[in-house]
Structure 1
Amino acid sequence: MEPLRSLILAAADSEAIRRAVATAPGTRGIVNRFVAGESVPDALRAVRALSRDGLRATLDYLGENTSDPEVTEHTVRTYLRLLDALHAEGLTADAEVSVKLSALTVGWDEELALRNVGRICAAADRCGTTVTVDMEDHTTTDATLRTVDRVRREFPATGAVLQSYLHRTPDDAAALAYPGSRIRLCKGAYAEPAEAAFPDAHEIDLGYVRCANILLEKGAYAMFATHDPRLIPLLRERVRSYGREPGDHEYQMLYGVRPDEQRRLATEGETVRVYVPFGEQWYGYLMRRLAERPANTALFLRALVSRS
Structure 2
Amino acid sequence: MLRTTLLAASRAPRARQVIEALPPTRAIVRRFIAGDELDEAVAVTDELVGAGRRITLDHLGEDTRDAAQAAGTAAAYERLLAALKETGLAERAEVSVKLSAVGQFLPQDGERIALDNARRICAAAADAGTTVTLDMEDHTTTDSTLGIARELRADYPWLGVVLQAYLRRTEADCADFSGPGSRVRLCKGAYQEPESVAFQGRREVDLSYVRCLKVLMGGEGYPMVASHDPRMIRIAGQLAEWRERKADSFEYQMLYGIRPEEQQRIVDSGATMRIYLPYGGEWYGYFMRRLAERPANLTFFLRALAGRG
TM-score norm. by structure 1 comes to 0.92
The CA distance in 1 between the partners of 2:137 and 2:5, in whole Å, is 22
Displacement of 1:77 in angstroms is 0.7
In the other structure, the counterpart of 1:183 is 184
In the other structure, the counterpart of 1:68 is 66
Q: Structure 1 residues 119, 300: closer, same or farther in 2, change over 3 A?
A: same
Q: Structure 1 residues 273, 208: closer, same or farther in 2, change over 3 A?
A: same
Displacement of 1:217 in angstroms is 0.8
The CA distance in 2 between the partners of 1:30 and 1:256, in whole Å, is 11
In the other structure, the counterpart of 2:57 is 59
Matches within 5 A, 1:119-198: 119-198=120-199
Task: State the one-letter code of the partner of 2:66.
Answer: D
In the other structure, the counterpart of 1:86 is 84
Displacement of 1:157 in angstroms is 0.4
Task: State the one-letter code of the partner of 1:102.
Answer: S
Structure 1 gaps, min length 5: none
Matches within 5 A, 1:194-209: 194-209=195-210
The CA distance in 2 between the partners of 1:201 and 1:53, in whole Å, is 33
Number of residue pairs the alignment of both structures matches? 299
The CA distance in 2 between the partners of 1:15 and 1:198, in whole Å, is 28
Structure 2 gaps, min length 5: 305-309
Contact 1:174 1:214 in 2 (8 A): yes
| Identical amino acids, percent of aligned pairs | 46
SS in structure 2 at match of 1:172:
helix
In the other structure, the counterpart of 2:307 is none
Contact 2:20 2:26 in 1 (8 A): no
The CA distance in 1 between the partners of 2:118 and 2:283, in whole Å, is 22
Contact 1:11 1:17 in 2 (8 A): no
Q: Structure 1 residues 6, 135: closer, same or farther in 2, change over 3 A?
A: closer
Displacement of 1:148 in angstroms is 0.3
Displacement of 1:64 in angstroms is 1.4
* Residue 46 in structure 1 maps to residue 47 in structure 2: no
Contact 1:180 1:219 in 2 (8 A): yes
Q: Structure 1 residues 10, 100: closer, same or farther in 2, change over 3 A?
A: closer
Contact 1:44 1:86 in 2 (8 A): yes
Q: Structure 1, residues 9-64: CA drift from partner, whole Å, max 9, x if none?
A: 4766445424423x32xx33321110100011011011011011100110001111
> What root-mean-square deviation, in Å, do the aligned CA atoms of Structure 1 and Structure 2 show?
1.9
* Residue 231 in structure 1 maps to residue 194 in structure 2: no
The CA distance in 2 between the partners of 1:6 and 1:19, in whole Å, is 16
Matches within 5 A, 1:1-20: 1=1, 4-5=5-6, 8-9=9-10, 13-14=14-15, 16-20=17-21
Q: Structure 1 residues 179, 71: closer, same or farther in 2, change over 3 A?
A: same
Contact 2:170 2:212 in 1 (8 A): yes
In the other structure, the counterpart of 2:265 is 264
The CA distance in 2 between the partners of 1:302 and 1:239, in whole Å, is 34
Q: Structure 1 residues 144, 299: closer, same or farther in 2, change over 3 A?
A: farther
Displacement of 1:303 in angstroms is 5.7
Task: State the one-letter code of the partner of 2:298.
Answer: L
Contact 2:9 2:16 in 1 (8 A): no
TM-score norm. by structure 2 comes to 0.91
The CA distance in 1 between the partners of 2:11 and 2:182, in whole Å, is 39
Contact 2:6 2:288 in 1 (8 A): no
In the other structure, the counterpart of 2:245 is 244
